[in-house]
Amino acid sequence: MSLNSSRVHELPADEAAVYRRLDPERLPHHVAIIMDGNGRWAGKRSLKRFFGHQQGAEAVQYVVETASRIGLPWLTLYAFSLENNLRRPKTEVNFLMRLLRTYLSNNVQRMNDNNVRIRYIGRTEDLPVEVRERMQWAAEATRLNTGTTLTLALNYGARSELVDAFRSLCAETQRTGLRPDDIDESDIHRHLYTAHMPDPDLLIRTSGEMRVSNFLLWQIAYTEIYVTGRLWPDFRGIHLLEAIEDYQRRERRYGGLSDGTESDDVASLPANQLVAGR
């Protein structure tokens, strides 16, 4: 399906050059990003980690605007994990909370200019009240925008999301008499924080780590993964487009065969040529 690309002319020249190499018929619908490397970015410059986070917040806005210009419907960013909340020094957690509030205050106008709607996933009810209030304000102020939906994962962990989903599904089974044997994948999906969203087509991770860090574990079952060594504060719209270009070179098989591959005629093989396999 071709996406709304009517604002492509607003891309800076270098991004436009990469965009022209893309197949507009095969753009992803949903890109999720694990933004990593803020601390290393600062360390390389002998700066405190806070500067890395600050620069990371700037990078967020660049990427959001490129996403909106190419008409990407869904962009989900891992901004603050449950583990960040539990395992980082209080001073860093407080700084990240302040940064989030500042980011929202400073960028809602730009989100509106770019037709971006902001939403959140995670155990956001456990965030400080002044952060929740600003989040709610930003969501309300951008509610009617119809371009990119920017979802920030905040105080998010995929295993906790599954726990919350199963709790709510169990409550439903008690209320409605839904029988365990009748539960299928769509019932789980309905109770996830992401029930209203398509699964990501592409997951990007910055700073070179080869792990998924408890992010969207259910939803990325068939997602293409792209890891770049670039640290998040250096990530820009052009790098999003390069990741999409790489994605377009992949063949998504969802456990099936490549197009045009003929299945082996297993029935005609002698029994001793059949070996156990996965």
Q: State whether residue 76 is helix, strand or coil.
A: strand
With a CB cutoff of 8 Å and minimum separation 6, the contacts of 228 are 204, 205, 206, 207, 208, 235, 239, 243
36 catalytic? Reply is yes
Per-residue burial over 241-254, b if 16 or more Cβ lie within 10 Å, else e, is bbbbeebbeeeeee
What residues line the site for ligand FPP (CB under 6 A)? 35-40, 53, 56-57, 60, 79-80, 84, 99-100, 103, 152, 207, 232
> What is the layout of strands, in order, in the sheet containing 74-81?
117-121, 149-156, 74-81, 30-34, 202-205, 224-227
N- to C-terminal Cα separation, the chain: 34
Q: What are phi and psi of 224, to 5 degrees?
A: -80, 135
Q: Is the dihedral of CA 54, 56, 62, 68 positive or negative?
A: negative
State the minimum distance, in angstroms, from the CB of residue 144 to ligand FPP.
21
Q: Given the complex with ligand FPP, which of 80 and 226 has the nearer CB atom?
A: 80
State the minimum distance, in angstroms, from the CB of residue 116 to ligand FPP.
13
**Alpha carbon 45 to chain centroid distance?**
28
Q: Given the complex with ligand FPP, which of 30 and 134 has the nearer CB atom?
A: 134
In the chain, DSSP finds a helix count (H) and a strand count (E) of 9, 6
106 catalytic? Reply is no
State the minimum distance, in angstroms, from the CB of residue 41 to ligand FPP.
7
Kindly name the residue from 38, 84, 114, 145 that is annotated as catalytic. Answer: 84
Using the 8-state DSSP alphabet, how is residue 40 labeled?
Answer: H
State the minimum distance, in angstroms, from the CB of residue 143 to ligand FPP.
19
Q: Per residue, what are the HEC states of 87-154?
A: HCCHHHHHHHHHHHHHHHHHHHHHHHHCCCEEEEECCHHHCCHHHHHHHHHHHHHCCCCCCCEEEEEE
With CB atoms as reference, the residue minimizing the distance to ligand FPP is 39
State the minimum distance, in angstroms, from the CB of residue 206 to ligand FPP.
9
Q: Given the complex with ligand FPP, which of 31 and 79 has the nearer CB atom?
A: 79
Q: Given the complex with ligand FPP, which of 14 and 83 has the nearer CB atom?
A: 83
Q: Given the complex with ligand FPP, which of 21 and 45 has the nearer CB atom?
A: 45
Q: Given the complex with ligand FPP, which of 100 and 202 has the nearer CB atom?
A: 100
State the minimum distance, in angstroms, from the CB of residue 36 to ligand FPP.
5
Which positions are annotated as active-site residues? 36, 84
